[in-house]
Amino acid sequence: MSGRTPNDGGILYDENAADEDDLIEVENDLPEAVPAIDWAEAGEFDHTLRGAELIQAFVKLLPNSPGVYRMFNEAGDVLYVGKARSLKKRVSNYAQGRVHSNRLTRMVRETANMEFVTTRTEIEALLLEANLIKRLRPRFNVLLRDDKSFPYILVTGDSRAPALYKHRGARSRKGDYFGPFASAGAVGRTINSLQRAFLLRTCTDSVFETRTRPCLLHQIKRCAAPCTREISDEGYAELVTEAKDFLSGKSQAVKATIASAMSEASENLDFERAALYRDRLAALSHVQSHQGINPAGVEEADVFAIHHEGGVSCIQVFFFRTGQNWGNRAYFPKADPALTSSEVLSAFLAQFYDDKPCPRQILLCEQVEEQELLAQAFSEKSSYKVAIAVPQRGEKKDLVDHAVANAREAHGRKLAETASQSRLLQGFAETFKLERVPQRIEIYDNSHIMGTNAVGGMVVAGPEGFVKGQYRKFNIKSTDITPGDDFGMMREVMTRRFSRLLKEEGKPDRSAQPSEDQAFPAWPDVILIDGGQGQMTAVRAILKELDIEDCVVAIGVAKGVDRDAGRERFFPPGRESFTMPPRDPVLYFIQRLRDEAHRFAIGSHRARRKKEMVKNPLDEIGGIGPTRKRALLHHFGTAKAVSRAGINDLMSVAGISASVAKLVYDHFHEDGGK
């Protein structure tokens, strides 16, 4: 029998673990776990037991203390993660079969092993449970599917001229963070308006430090150009303070100050300056007009509403910060249809705030299980009091009702989209005579300009539409490929994709029927290739070489005559190529898949090309920091002029010694100056 015990590094480990992938590292802000059982005193254990008998054997060894338990199947996959106030009492319920749903009955039947960790309190167990669910994604838990980090607006604080950026991830950079915003689009629109209102820079620090003249943004009145000191440091600091005040909820005071300055300029007949203030006021009004509801009595809160119907749950989340509405997002967690909306929402909340800062107030549409325990856990984690409430009247109740209406509408749209997608996948399977309806389709396309900055793109679609978290891009690395060789590029993409898939997942078992509880599959049922017979020959050769030609159905989609949409020709395996009727819904479906792959590949190519275009050759020289780089550019004007300069010319620049001059010269001259 295996148990988990903590080592000095705070890592819970299985003594019988096969490799490092079995290690579960606990976050720094989670409680330190303690051993659940003294396994040395547990004696010999019957490893042949399964299901309820196995669980009953474990119950005899469990303490009455709080903790977290995990259930594993025969293959070692985690089936379920749960927490308990008393491990013995909670786990014994599974062995006794009390009021088990079909889901729990299957889970108990498949259980081949269990592992336990005790904690000091139930709050610690709740935090650890949420962390493990998000890491392990067990089949039978309520799972938060879309868990991208929220974007924030960052006003940097580590340079003489703070910049305005969109930020995701850890808050490691010094500065002020404002948000969260519901989407990157909302952040982009807000930053665009803030640029017009406060003229803050959005360029990178490297660009800022090397500018010798104002950029286009200054010419169109979107930046005050602190890089070339078109504005004093004091004047720019005032703009930064105003921007922070506006984002902190002091919008009316900021607007009043700007309006007063506009009136003063107008009275002094300085109409050009007055027009500048007018434009800034219009930009601020534009920001607020796109924020929708701005409640006066709710300074900081997240509002949650759930609509649970037809086996699908939709949770709508609204974010309010500094009295302003920063947008909303709909979530569709994976959950057993037999669970109540209260149970789904409770599990969702614990996972939602596992890696996100909590507001001081959380408003719900209904009471949830362990509501008080959740509030205590969030308060302990945040180091300030977090209140969870279900408002019954007033402005807060109006906000919740608004969220409920949005959840209901998003739920209806989701059901309609899912039903339509299911019909299309069924039609796809019939058109190409597949053995079963595909659960995962991968679509591939390449993008390049005469072979330069070549990128392969892979998009993924399933029963619920495009799965953007599964998209992948492949920067073409091979030096043996002739520029523009699409066949060679596709061979590289296919080889890299499926070699890694074989290494990580092994060959798929196509004889097993997919279960409703099964996670989104890692292996595609079908791959669509943007190309004709030549592309398909290259792709099928790779699949045969990897011995997976029977695991994946590869279909080519060639552009029609004169590249007209609707006249595409399809190349399925073992059949003659064919076309579809121009108005076939399945044809439209495939066109949409192909267009998404094309969009993603082109976008990835453009991003790579842009990165190459803005790369400064001086960045590649070790020992040349921002100060010396700026001095060289000020003196010579461009990096190209620096590359042509002699050693004596380089030494004439302030701060460039003989050794540094030789370093720069040698970088641009392979012969080392000889």
In order of 37, 91, 414, 635, the CA distances from 115 in angstroms are 10, 11, 37, 67
* The two three-digit tokens of residue 511, written as one number: 């004889």
* Cβ–Cβ under 8 Å, residues 75 and 60: no
In order of 521, 635, 655, the CA distances from 629 in angstroms are 50, 10, 10
Mapping DSSP onto H, E and C, the string for 354-402 reads CCCCCCCEEEECCCCCCHHHHHHHHHHHHCCCCEEECCCCHHHHHHHHH
Q: What's the fold here for domain 301-413?
A: Nucleotidyltransferase; domain 5 (3.30.420)
Helix, strand, coil percentages (3-state) for the chain, rounded to 5, are: 45, 20, 40
Task: Write out the DSSP string of 138-163.
Answer: -TTS-B----PPPPEEEEE-SSSS-B
Q: What is the C-alpha separation between 343 and 19, in angstroms, rounded? A: 35
Taking residue 85's Cβ as centre, other Cβ atoms within 10 Å add up to: 15
Bond from prior residue into 333 cis (ω within 30 degrees of 0): no
What pLDDT, on the 0 to 100 scale, is given for residue 307? 92
Q: What is the layout of strands, in order, in the sheet containing 387-389?
A: 324-331, 312-321, 301-309, 361-364, 387-389
Of 62-66, 168-172, 192-196, 614-618, the range with the highest mean pLDDT is 62-66
Q: What's the fold here for domain 4-136?
A: GIY-YIG endonuclease (3.40.1440)
So where are the chain's domains? 4-136, 152-289, 301-413, 432-507+521-603, 617-668
Q: How much of the chain, in percent, has pLDDT values that exceed 90?
A: 16
pLDDT (tens digit per residue) in 274-320: 877 777 777 666 665 555 555 667 778 899 999 988 778 899 999 88
What pLDDT, on the 0 to 100 scale, is given for residue 615? 62
pLDDT (tens digit per residue) in 609-640: 777 665 667 777 777 777 888 788 777 777 77
Q: pLDDT averaged over the chain?
A: 80
Global pTM? 0.67
pLDDT (tens digit per residue) in 448-476: 776 677 888 999 999 888 888 899 988 88
pLDDT average, residue stretch 490-511: 85
CA angle 152, 153, 159 (to 5 degrees): 130
For the domain with range 432-507+521-603, which CATH number is right: 1.50.10.10, 3.20.20.100, 3.30.460.10, 3.30.420.340?
3.30.420.340
Q: Do domains 301-413 and 432-507+521-603 have the same CATH topology?
A: yes
What pLDDT, on the 0 to 100 scale, is given for residue 513? 62
Nearest to 522 by CA among 571, 583, 458: 458
Say which residue, 4 or 613, is predicted with more confidence: 613
Residue in this structure with the two tokens 């930046």, named with its chain if needed: 223
What pLDDT, on the 0 to 100 scale, is given for residue 441? 94
Q: Is the pLDDT of residue 159 over 90?
A: no
* Cβ–Cβ under 8 Å, residues 650 and 664: yes
pLDDT (tens digit per residue) in 26-60: 333 444 444 444 444 444 556 677 788 888 888 88
What pLDDT, on the 0 to 100 scale, is given for residue 12? 34
Say which residue, 567 or 286, is predicted with more confidence: 567
Q: Are β-strands 441-449 and 452-462 bridged in parallel, bridged antiparallel, or unpaired?
A: antiparallel
pLDDT (tens digit per residue) in 84-118: 998 888 888 888 766 567 778 888 888 888 889 98
* Cβ–Cβ under 8 Å, residues 416 and 574: no
Say which residue, 63 or 260, is predicted with more confidence: 63
Confidence of residue 566 (pLDDT cuts 50, 70, 90): low
Q: What is the DSSP letter of 32?
A: P
Q: What is the C-alpha separation between 302 and 319, in angstroms, rounded? A: 5
Q: Are β-strands 361-364 and 301-309 bridged in parallel, bridged antiparallel, or unpaired?
A: parallel
Say which residue, 544 or 258, is predicted with more confidence: 544
Q: Which of 77-81, 133-137, 416-420, 527-531 has the lowest mean pLDDT?
A: 416-420
pLDDT average, residue stretch 570-580: 88
Q: Which CATH architecture has domain 617-668?
A: Orthogonal Bundle (1.10)
Taking residue 634's Cβ as centre, other Cβ atoms within 10 Å add up to: 12
What pLDDT, on the 0 to 100 scale, is given for residue 306? 93
Give me the numbers of helices (H) and strands (E) for the chain, helices first please. Answer: 20, 22
Q: Is the pLDDT of residue 78 over 60?
A: yes
